[in-house]
Chain A
Amino acid sequence: GAGVSQSPSNKVTEKGKDVELRCDPISGHTALYWYRQSLGQGLEFLIYFQGNSAPDKSGLPSDRFSAERTGGSVSTLTIQRTQQEDSAVYLCASSSLAGGGNEQFFGPGTRLTVL
Chain B
Amino acid sequence: KNQVEQSPQSLIILEGKNCTLQCNYTVSPFSNLRWYKQDTGRGPVSLTIMTFSENTKSNGRYTATLDADTKQSSLHITASQLSDSASYICVVSAWEYSGGGADGLTFGKGTHLIIQP
Contact = CB atoms under 8 A, between A and B. Distances in A.
Contacts of A108: 41-43
A56 interface: yes
Interface size class of A (residues with CB under 8 A): 20 to 34
Interface size class of B (residues with CB under 8 A): 20 to 34
A55 to B, nearest CB: 11
Contacts of B31: 100-101
A106 interface: yes
Given A91-B43, A100-B97, A56 B109 contact: no
A59 B102 CA distance: 7
B115 interface: no
A106 B43 contact: yes
B43 A45 contact: no
Nearest to A92: B43
B107 A42 contact: yes
Secondary structure at the A interface, as helix, strand, loop or mixed, is loop
Nearest to B101: A58
B44 A48 contact: no
A4 interface: yes
Interface in A61-115: 91, 93, 98-101, 103-109
A48 B102 contact: yes
A58 B99 CA distance: 10
Interface in B88-114: 89, 91-94, 97, 100-105, 107-110
B97 A99 contact: yes
Interface string A17-56: 0000000000000010100000001110100101000001
B45 A106 contact: yes
A50 to B, nearest CB: 8
B101 A42 contact: no
Among A42, A48, A107, the one with the most B-chain Cβ atoms within 10 Å of its Cβ is A42
Contact of B34 (A31, A58, A103): A103
Interface in B70-85: none
Contacts of A56: 100-103
A31 B103 contact: yes
